[in-house]
Structure 1
Amino acid sequence: MSQPKAMNLRFPDPGQRAAIEAAARQEGVSLQEYILSAAYTRATAVEARFLDAFRASVSRSGEAFAEAAGTAGPDAERRAAELAARHGLEEQRERGHAA
Structure 2
Amino acid sequence: MGRRPGGRWPTPGITGTIGAMSHPKAMNLRFPDPAQRAAIESAARQEGVSLQEYILSAAYARATAVEKHFLDAFRDSMARSGDAFAEASGPDATGAQRRAAELDARHDLERQRDDAA
- The TM-score, its normalising length taken from structure 2, stands at 0.59
Encode CA deviations 1:51-96: one digit per residue, 9 max, x unaligned: 01100110010000000112428xxxxxxxxxxxxxxxxxxxxxxx
Q: Secondary structure at the match of 1:72?
A: coil
Q: Which runs of 5+ in 2 are unaligned?
A: 1-11, 15-20, 95-117
Tell me the percent identity: 77
Higher helix proportion (structure 1 or 2)? 1
Q: What pairs up with 1:16-35 in 2 under 5 angstroms? A: 16-35=36-55
Encode CA deviations 1:20-62: one digit per residue, 9 max, x unaligned: 0000000000000000000000000000010011001100100
State the one-letter code of the partner of 1:72: A
Q: Distance in 1 between matches of 2:89 and 2:81?
A: 12
Detail structure 1 runs of 4+ shifted over 4 Å in the superposition. none
Structure 1 residue 57 corresponds to structure 2 residue 68: no
Q: Which runs of 5+ in 1 are unaligned?
A: 74-99
Q: State the Cα RMSD in Å.
A: 1.5
* Higher radius of gyration, 1 or 2: 1
Among candidates 61, 72, 82, match of residue 93 of structure 2: 72
Q: Larger relative contact order (C-alpha < 8 A, sep ≥ 6)?
A: 2
- The TM-score, its normalising length taken from structure 1, stands at 0.69
Among candidates 31, 35, 43, match of residue 63 of structure 2: 43
Structure 1 residue 2 corresponds to structure 2 residue 23: no
